[in-house]
Structure 1
Amino acid sequence: MPSRPESPPPADPPATPHPPRRRTVTTRTEVGVGVELRYETPHIVVLTIDSPPSNAFTWESRQSMLRALDVIEADDNIRAVVITGTGRAFTSGANLREDQALTDEQLADYIGEFSGMLNRIEALRMPVVAAINGATVGGGLEFALACDIRLASSEAFFVAAGVNVGLIVSFWRLPRVVGLGPAKEIILTGSRYTAEQAMRWGLVTEVYEPEALLPAALAKAQRIATRAPLSVEAAKSAVTRAFELSFDQGQALQTKKFVEMYRTEDHKEALRAFFEKRDGVYARR
């Protein structure tokens, strides 16, 4: 009797293709000397202050920052901004060597331009995350205070240096962030404070090892960028105004903005995304 043919060996199961890895392609936009503008994703930009050794703002780097803000304000796709510095400094603010020969009128214009730059950062429609990598001194402290969320490296330190050089700085924003008592100590002594002390006062919300700081700031920005942008922007604007409003004004604004957001397509998409456990796809309407 002929032998029974052997059954062919079972075929290997088809290989399951690995999903392609999502790569982040960063692109740079030229804005000038002393400031780098980099798109980390279509929704997140990183501004790096690069004017060593202290990252002080010269006239040229102030113009570069203003051009960078022009780019950011004009791009509706941007949902979060990260600002950091190079080397061992975040920023020391304005370059004091530039203002020594100015007349009173020129000095007022000089300070007005620097303050206007900070006001534009604070007024950006999207949240700004400061990744404070090092020395934050004088006008640099004011720069950090103009940002919405402040994270710090364990090597960062903070000095309201005005009284150390016979000047005055940070008296308006700082008390609103840390309270009157800590603000008076920081401003009146001109002392140097560590990142840990800054966190205890609420000047920064988190402290990281140096190598973990920028990834943490980008993760924070990514979290923000996946929320409904219209509501994020409305919330930022309302919270920024909180100390300027009476209780009744605050309640009226909250009700007005709630109704506006409730009627948006983005609100409906946010609900769908929540129940479907996915990121929303928002149309800004």
Structure 2
Amino acid sequence: MTQNGTVRLEVNGPRVDVILARPEARNALNLPMCEDLIEAFQQIAAMPDIGLVVLRAEGAVFCAGADMKERKGRDEAWVMMRRRTAFRAYEMVGACTVPVIAQVQGALVGSGGEIAMSCDFIVASSASTFRFPEPQWGTVGATQRLQRIVGVARAKELLYTGRVMLADEAHRLGLVTTLTPPEALSETVDDMAERILRAPALSLKLTKHCIDAGSRTDLASGIAIELAAIDRLLSESDWRGSVDRFSASIGSEAKEQKG
């Protein structure tokens, strides 16, 4: 458990689960939860053997957005401090060097979307819903990550109207990469995590780095980033062993198909 008790960490071998733990408040994001998310990912950064993170939530709701109750009686300076801390939390999630999967059930609102979109991708229940009502609440938010995933026009429509988007539409738009029946959500994420963790850890980290860094530059520069990663892989990993293991696994799969 982190300092404020709003986020819980569960370590299981190379997998860490980061769990939003305010179910009584529908996991609404408040300042202590922002601080706990920062702390959780700082702890993960210091764990040398971690290969994957699953970010999920307790209860029926992933995150009901910002906890507006904590703003009562606050001044503008406090609100700006709180928002900057939230952005720091999102940045910490996004800066994690290993794959981070968001496991979403129930409602995802506002800041909950920022948390989930900071992960590498979202696996969601078909019963989940998505809403970005910041303008309707008299504030500004989700203007940057959302447009980069669903496009400028669709992001504007979702933010201007604050409408509830069902899971099927979120999947079509690419906000959700994998959609599952509610009862299969945990198993689907577990299977996906297990498959990801079969890859050598350094290969995963360098692949994530290349995609993230390459998305912010032109193709030629992106290729240079990938070549630098390959050079590091050849000098720091057992790449010959990886080739042998991959070849053996292909042979096993072929025999199973013939059988």
TM-score, normalising length: structure 1: 0.82
Amino acid at match of 2:53: V
Amino acid at match of 2:135: V
**Long gaps (5+) in structure 1:** 1-28, 279-285
> Are the structure 2 counterparts of residues 227 and 31 from structure 1 closer, same or farther at C-alpha, using a change threshold of 3 Å?
farther
Secondary structure of the structure 2 residue equivalent to 1:47:
strand
Is residue 111 of structure 1 aligned with residue 63 of structure 2? no
Amino acid at match of 1:233: K
The percentage of counterpart residues that share the same residue type is 27
Contact 1:31–1:65 (CA under 8 A) maintained in structure 2: no
Contact 2:105–2:127 (CA under 8 A) maintained in structure 1: yes
Distance 2:3 2:186 in 1: 21
* 1:136 shift after superposition: 0.6
> Are the structure 2 counterparts of residues 167 and 224 from structure 1 closer, same or farther at C-alpha, using a change threshold of 3 Å?
same
- The more displaced of 102-111 and 117-126 is 102-111
Amino acid at match of 1:216: T
User: Could you say which residue in structure 2 is the equivalent of 1:22?
Assistant: none
Secondary structure of the structure 2 residue equivalent to 1:84:
strand
Residue correspondences, number: 249
* 1:54 shift after superposition: 1.6
- The more displaced of 263-272 and 71-80 is 263-272
Distance 1:94 1:254 in 2: 38
**Long gaps (5+) in structure 2:** 251-259
Tell me which structure has the larger Cα radius of gyration: 1
* 1:30 shift after superposition: 5.8
> Are the structure 2 counterparts of residues 30 and 107 from structure 1 closer, same or farther at C-alpha, using a change threshold of 3 Å?
closer
Which 4+ stretches in 1 moved above 4 angstroms?
A: 29-32
Amino acid at match of 1:48: I
User: Could you say which residue in structure 2 is the equivalent of 1:61?
Assistant: 33
User: Could you say which residue in structure 2 is the equivalent of 1:47?
Assistant: 18
Trace 1:3-152 onto structure 2 (pairs within 5 A): 32-39=4-11, 41-52=12-23, 53-152=25-124
Contact 1:79–1:127 (CA under 8 A) maintained in structure 2: yes
User: Could you say which residue in structure 1 is the equivalent of 2:247?
Assistant: 275
Distance 1:30 1:244 in 2: 33
C-alpha RMSD of the superposition: 1.8
Is residue 227 of structure 1 aligned with residue 199 of structure 2? yes
> Are the structure 2 counterparts of residues 80 and 33 from structure 1 closer, same or farther at C-alpha, using a change threshold of 3 Å?
same
* 1:132 shift after superposition: 0.4
